[in-house]
Structure 1
Amino acid sequence: MAGFPLRREQGFTLVELLVVFAIMALVAGLVPLAYERMRDGSQYRDAVRTMFSQMRLARSLAISGGRDVSFVVDMGRRRYGLDGEPLKTLPESLLVRATVADREVASQGVMSIRFLPSGGATGGSVEILRAPGVGTRLRVDWLSGRTTQEALLP
């Protein structure tokens, strides 16, 4: 037996198993938080993108159709979209503020930006804010009807 080394049994020790389980528990605890942040970010980007495209669509329809088209934000019911069409719902995690004709619309009110066949608009802006106060302002120029997007920092 002198020429044969002792063979050690294969397997994991109790300490190694406890370390692996502790790491798995830590990861499992962090996954819901990461998922929630990712979901909130996705909802924010989707709301900004959809609202911006709805405003641009309203201007395009007004010019091509030769009639006024209104973009509406119902802050009380947390919905937005083109007047006369089904409105889209804002996620609960977002805060919306609106300004029309240099005055802020009340948090329960309805704001409307009317796009004219000439390409102009009544003007106004909509701010979409996330929880820490960071967000985006969508601004409609009254003269040209052009919609722009700018970042809002806390």
Structure 2
Amino acid sequence: MHRYFVTAMDKCILFAKKNSLKKQGFTLIELIIVMAIMGIIAGISIPRYTGSLDTIKFRKIMSGIVFSLREARIIAMSGGTKTEVVLDLLDGYLWCEGMEKLEIPYEIQMFSDNFEDADEQIRVFTFYPNGTAHGRKLGFAYGEMTAVLNIEPLGGLVSFRLDEEMEQTVKYERILIEITDKEIDQKINALRVSAVLTSGGPRGKTPLHADNRSSSFDNYGDDSYDVDEEDEDDGDDDDDDDGDDDDEDEDDEEDDD
């Protein structure tokens, strides 16, 4: 009996020791090893996660551009009228009459593979009622990623491809100063009556080229684009003609007297 009791007590003590060992925390070495493993995993996964977010953002911007151009094509075909879409390569906004403007983040750069586009600031994409379109391909860069915007002339289909090879012959340096909605609206008002848009009203004064840069719009009010220089000259000539007619009438009256 006594022997059995001692054996039972030993088992209870051994069981209690095992439970106490299980309740003990990690040692310092174990914690260091776990933290090192977690650091390695984070170092591998975070760059990939960040890269995937950048890819999603880039795709979203390109999809927005393509959607706007496709909408302009639908407007041209359904309305039976030519529709023009303007893309400002420096300030980074896409605009078409009757559509909501689209702003492109300044981190996204645009480029061309044609030397003749070096002085270009405004790119115009034109869609016709018969489904055809006019617009050269344009490259976009975001970090190390690139995308090429393509417009098929015959069918007017618009698409983009990521990582498509295209020579960056001409790079358009984006203006890093964030442009306000008011400034964009002012530029759009200037475009409506400029020579850039063939269907946008009378030909007028417009500082849209790269040598003038976008800041030149700041000194122009909306009424600065309403009068053509040629019209002003014609007006002066008409005034001179009216003055000559008045002189002739006065001479005739003197002769009658």
Q: Which of 63, 68, 90 is the matching residue for 1:76?
A: 90
CA deviation after TM superposition for structure 1 residue 106, in Å: 4.0
CA deviation after TM superposition for structure 1 residue 65, in Å: 0.9
TM-score (norm 1): 0.75
TM-score (norm 2): 0.49
CA distance change for structure 1 residues 51 and 108 in 2, over 3 Å: closer, same or farther?
same
Match of 1:47, SS?
helix
Structure 1 range deviating more: 142-151 or 25-34? 25-34
Q: Deviations over 1:73-129 (max 9, x none)?
A: 111111224345442222333222257xx7653487010111111222223212222
The answer to whether structure 1 residue 16 and structure 2 residue 30 are counterparts is yes
The answer to whether structure 1 residue 64 and structure 2 residue 75 are counterparts is no
Alignment of 1:28-39 (within 5 A): 33-39=47-53
Runs of 4+ with >6 A deviation: none
Partner residue of 2:231? none
Structure 2 unaligned runs (5+)?
1-5, 167-257
State the AA in 2 paired with 1:82: C
Q: Deviations over 1:33-89 (max 9, x none)?
A: 445323211111101211112111111110101112112211111122434544222
CA deviation after TM superposition for structure 1 residue 32, in Å: 5.6
CA distance change for structure 1 residues 47 and 120 in 2, over 3 Å: closer, same or farther?
same
RMSD value over aligned CA atoms? 3.1
Structure 1 range deviating more: 3-12 or 51-60? 3-12
State the AA in 1 paired with 2:78: S
Q: Which of 143, 147, 150 is the matching residue for 2:158?
A: 147
- Compare relative contact order (CA 8 Å, sep 6+) and give the higher one, 1 or 2: 1
Structure 1 range deviating more: 28-37 or 49-58? 28-37
CA deviation after TM superposition for structure 1 residue 28, in Å: 5.5
Larger radius of gyration: 2
CA deviation after TM superposition for structure 1 residue 31, in Å: 6.5
Partner residue of 1:115? 127
Structure 1 range deviating more: 51-60 or 23-32? 23-32
Alignment of 1:100-111 (within 5 A): 105-106=117-118, 109-111=121-123
State the AA in 2 paired with 1:118: N
CA distance change for structure 1 residues 89 and 104 in 2, over 3 Å: closer, same or farther?
farther
- Which whole-Å CA distance do the structure 1 matches of 2:54 and 2:119 have between them? 21
- Which whole-Å CA distance do the structure 1 matches of 2:67 and 2:119 have between them? 23
State the aligned residue count. Answer: 151
CA distance change for structure 1 residues 34 and 83 in 2, over 3 Å: closer, same or farther?
farther
Alignment of 1:85-96 (within 5 A): 85-96=99-110
Q: Which of 94, 119, 139 is the matching residue for 1:127?
A: 139
Identity of aligned residues (%): 24
CA contact (8 A) 2:108 2:142 kept: yes
